[in-house]
Amino acid sequence: MSGESTRAGDRRHRRVRVIPKGPVMVEGPVDIERPDGSTMHCDRFQVAICACGCSGTPPLCDATHRRLPGPSPDRPTQKDPQKE
């Protein structure tokens, strides 16, 4: 094996990070299967997938979640636990 990854069948271990009240961050490149069965390929090293359902560019996050009512952990007003 050359170590090169291919789009289909790439079994490399990937990290997925869930942002509370925000997107799901997935290490790329990645193929995203939409509900209608079509596929979107993203070559970015990290892809933000909308988990709030309000993105104007689904399935990707467009940061609309930041404007939603209620507290959000990725806003600068959140307490920093290391400062306590």
Query: Contact residues for ligand FES (CB under 6 A)?
Result: 22-23, 50-52, 54-55, 61-65
User: Number of C-alpha atoms within 13 angstroms, CB side, residue 2?
Assistant: 3
State both tokens at 53: 């359902």
Contacting residues for 10 by C-beta, under 8 A, at least 6 apart: none
Distance of CA 44 to the CA centre of its chain: 11
- The least distance separating ligand FES from the CB of residue 57, rounded to whole angstroms, comes to 8
Q: Which is nearer to ligand FES, 7 or 34 (CB)?
A: 34
* 48 vs 82 by CB, closer to ligand FES: 48
Is 42 or 63 the residue whose CB approaches ligand FES more closely? 63
